Structure 1
Amino acid sequence: MRTIDYHQERHMLHITLGPERPVDPEQDELGRDRVGFSPTMSDLALYDANHGCWKLGPRANKERYMIVSFDGIVRQAIEIDSIEPVARGNRSVVNGEILREGHPVFEKYVGKTSPVQGVRNPVTYFEDDVDGKPCRCGCGGSVSSKDFLPGHDQTALHERVKQIGTVAEFLDWFDVVRGTKTVR
């Protein structure tokens, strides 16, 4: 499993599939005999047919999850273990674990309307907070990037200043704590 930096902006990789179609295993980089979506596919067959060969840039390596949609509905969610180049060409294969009921990403997306609609490129990214972290101000909100919801850094700072007293008293206290000023 790879290490995820939760201080980076959180996005999710999204792949839009077409209908199932046959491909020549001799010509396919992964030796597949089909790609795309069919309602008769098992979860494993859907994964095997569609976890590669995608044109992915370095941005994909920052993502923890991938969702796959067809006809505007999310059909599968994957927790990404690795992204590797295929033997030929400039495409990549996404290796990971198929998520099941009970996982927050599965529950939020699978079987529901895709958060990405009407795009021409089958590979897209969207902002996601499903594995967000709490806003540092203590409001109970969730952030998918940085440490605070917009403006909440100032709220947190001013709440702490009030605990000391005035802004001047806070500055004096801070300087004493830091050792840059002595108490008079």
Structure 2
Amino acid sequence: MIHITLGAERHVDPTQDALHRDRVGYSDQMSQLALYDANHGTWKLGERAQGEQYTLMSYGGFVRQAIEIESIDPVVGVPAGDKQEGRSIINGRVLTAGHPVYDMYVHKTSPVQGVRNPVTYVDGPVDQSPCRCGCGGMVAGREFLPGHDQTALHDRVRQIGTVAQFLDWFDVVRGTRPFA
């Protein structure tokens, strides 16, 4: 889960902002839609962000909003060297009471406290999914438990036979034969 720590609401120049916003940050007077509009971009996100399903927005030590991520898109149309270059926009649906992520986090103490970087990542129980190897273990923010990708690969190779037989089979399936 992506976790973003917000600052207090401040006004910005819409002509200088990639999303043409007039404010960013948090205020008690903001509706949930206004909070989303002000803060769903422009963030410096790591590669891990692409595999996340949810974003939490926190202010003052409490989670103020939860978003189900629909897409993460690059900021476009900014000049080279602009501070918004290389940043991303989180597009999604603002969650409400009754959704497990909302109920678990919103209006509760933030799972991340006292960090310098506003963007962090949280492994929460709602983010977990089964390990792709089929072991029954649960993972968050990745597809396999450590080492289980190799176990899954070698289990499949054994189903074909030897490594050489696996390579031959693979080449036939793909329609390629790298060696004569």
**2:24–2:39 CA contact under 8 A, matched in 1:** yes
CA deviation map 1:101-153 (0-9, x unaligned): 00000000000000000000000001111243579888xxx8344788xxxxx
Gap runs ≥5 in structure 2: 79-84, 146-158, 160-180
Gap runs ≥5 in structure 1: 1-11, 149-177, 179-184
Map 1:36-115; keep pairs closer than 5 Å: 36-87=25-76, 88=78, 89-115=85-111
**1:80–1:97 CA contact under 8 A, matched in 2:** yes
**What CA distance in whole angstroms lies between the structure 2 residues aligned with 1:123 and 1:48?**
17
The equivalent of 2:16 in structure 1 is 27
**What CA distance in whole angstroms lies between the structure 2 residues aligned with 1:91 and 1:37?**
20
Q: Describe the SS at the equivalent of 1:127.
A: coil
CA deviation map 1:57-84 (0-9, x unaligned): 2211010000000010000000000001
- The one-letter code of the counterpart of 2:90 is V
Q: Rg larger in 1 or in 2?
A: 1
Length, aligned pairs only: 135
**What CA distance in whole angstroms lies between the structure 1 residues aligned with 2:16 and 2:129?**
44
**What CA distance in whole angstroms lies between the structure 2 residues aligned with 1:83 and 1:16?**
18
Determine whether 1:120 maps to 2:116: yes
**1:55–1:92 CA contact under 8 A, matched in 2:** yes
**What CA distance in whole angstroms lies between the structure 2 residues aligned with 1:90 and 1:105?**
29
- The one-letter code of the counterpart of 1:125 is Y
**1:14–1:124 CA contact under 8 A, matched in 2:** yes
**Following TM superposition, by how much is the alpha carbon of 1:16 offset from its aligned partner in structure 2, in angstroms?**
0.3
**1:64–1:80 CA contact under 8 A, matched in 2:** yes
CA deviation map 1:19-76 (0-9, x unaligned): 0000000001100000000000000000000000000122110100000000100000
The TM-score with structure 1 as length reference comes to 0.68
The equivalent of 2:151 in structure 1 is none
Identity, in percent, stands at 61
- Taking only aligned residues, the RMSD between alpha carbons, in angstroms, comes to 2.1
- The one-letter code of the counterpart of 1:143 is M
